[in-house]
Amino acid sequence: MSQGYNTVLLTGEDAVNQAVSLLQQGECVALPTETVYGLAADAANPAAVDKIFTAKGRPKNHPLIVHIPDVSHLSRWAMDIPESAYALAEQFWPGPLTLLLKKAPDVDTCVTGGLDTIALRVPAHPLFLSVLTKLDSGLAAPSANRYKQLSPTIAEQVTRGLAGRIAGVLEGGACDHGLESTILDLVSEQPRILRAGPISQQQLTDALGCEVLLPAQHVEVVPGNVKAHYQPTTPAKLLSTEQIMAQAERLNAANSFFLVWSEQAQRHLQESNERAQWRVMPATAAQYGQQLYVTLYQVDQQGAAQIIVEQPPQGDPWRAINDRLSRATS
């Protein structure tokens, strides 16, 4: 159901100022980041933050990430900040790393889903940074999609999901990474990754000089860790190269759309299925990640009965991709 907004697409020279003005009025505006588009609202204004939950249809106990203009703002939002946070900020901010810290006492728990911890990051997209610098405060900004749907990596995808529900969308082109930030918990005894993302476990281990855990399950409320998440509307299935080769005929007859990356699978589809519908995904993790959501979004509109995704390689650079794919196909 629409919330009665006439959602404006903000483009051109004055777009950043218009976004700032709407945010100052307590409205929600979708902003581009280097990971995915975020649905931003003034993190210090509970009524504005509330609008994020309404627009997304997101449960109120799911915490939001607060985006800040630079590391000097950390102490406004967090307390008992360990040295490691500053070391990581120095190396990875602005960038796709979110740090989980102890919440400062005066931060309203509406933004933390009632928890006494807070997730913080400095994003790298120049438009988002410019909005933050003008506001000189924090913006809560989860991904700009309806609850459980795909995160948007182009402005059109935001508009399709949230038109009528938010004040505006700042046009910023396609997102560089295309996958949500890595979330690192610095509150627990040992640093641990709560959500795999563009900054890998190895990069964090190297930066900290100690082991960084990557548990498969968490007790915390982490919506990205819900098993079914980041899902296209068309049912999607993850199959190995061998399974695709063996079942291509049957899958094709069942009106499947294939997302393949290996030459083997491409050749097989080409040779054995004249009418097969398929797209080639990039063979490098960085490019695959950048293309993943936008491809699922586009293929979702093709009217196929199912999307068959060829299992990508395993290994550290592919971890975030495999994580999102397993949820999209769960």
List residues near ligand AMP by CB under 6 A: 62-65, 100, 112, 115, 117-119, 142-143, 180, 183, 194-195, 220-224
Cβ neighbours for 234, distance < 8 A, ≥ 6 positions apart: 257, 299, 300, 304, 305, 306, 307
Nearer to Mg ion, 143 or 291 (CB): 143
CB of 37 to Mg ion, least distance (A): 10
Ranges assigned E (strand) in the chain: 8-10, 29-31, 38-42, 65-67, 78-79, 97-103, 117-121, 139-140, 168-170, 182-185, 192-195, 236-239, 256-260, 277-280, 306-310
Q: Can you point out the beta strands (E) in 187-319? A: 192-195, 236-239, 256-260, 277-280, 306-310
Question: Could you give the count of Cα atoms lying within 13 Å of 135 in the half-sphere of its Cβ?
Answer: 32
CA–centroid distance for 116 within its chain: 23
Q: Which residues, in sequence order, are bridge partners of residue 139? A: 42, 67
* CB nearer ligand AMP, residue 96 or residue 312: 96
Token pair, residue 246, equals: 């063996």
Q: Which partner, ligand AMP, Mg ion, none, binds residue 117 by CB below 5 to 8 Å per kind?
A: ligand AMP
Does position 143 interact with Mg ion (CB under 5 A)? The reply is yes
d(CA 330, CA 309): 12
Candidates 91-99, 139-147, 169-177, 310-318; binding stretch for Mg ion (CB under 5 A): 139-147
| Binding partner at 65 among Mg ion, ligand AMP, none, C-beta below 5 to 8 Å by kind | ligand AMP
Torsions phi, psi for 67 (to 5 deg):
-100, 130
62 binds, options ligand AMP, Mg ion, none, Cβ within 5 to 8 A by partner type: ligand AMP
Closest CB to Mg ion among residues 45, 143: 143
Indicate the helix (H) or strand (E) that contains 268: helix 263-272
Residue placing its CB nearer to ligand AMP in the complex, 95 or 223 = 223
Closest CA to 97 of 28, 164, 175, 186: 186
SS3 content of the chain, % helix, strand, coil (to 5): 35, 20, 45
Q: Which residue has the tokens 């040295």?
A: 83
Q: Could you say which of Mg ion, ligand AMP, none residue 71 binds, taking C-beta under 5 to 8 angstroms by partner kind?
A: none
Q: How far is the CB of 90 from Mg ion (least distance, A)?
A: 27
Least separation, in Å, of the C-beta of 56 and ligand AMP? 8
Q: Which region, judged by CB under 5 A, interacts with Mg ion, from 2-10, 136-144, 185-193, 251-259? A: 136-144
Residue nearest to ligand AMP (CB): 142
Pick the closer one to ligand AMP by CB: 99 or 238.
99
Smallest separation (angstroms) from Mg ion to the CB of 148: 9
Q: How far is the CB of 143 from Mg ion (least distance, A)?
A: 3
The residue (of 205 and 225) whose beta carbon lies closer to Mg ion is 225
From the list ligand AMP, Mg ion, none, which binds 183 (C-beta under 5 to 8 Å, kind-based)? ligand AMP
Q: Closest separation between CB of residue 316 and ligand AMP, Å?
A: 20
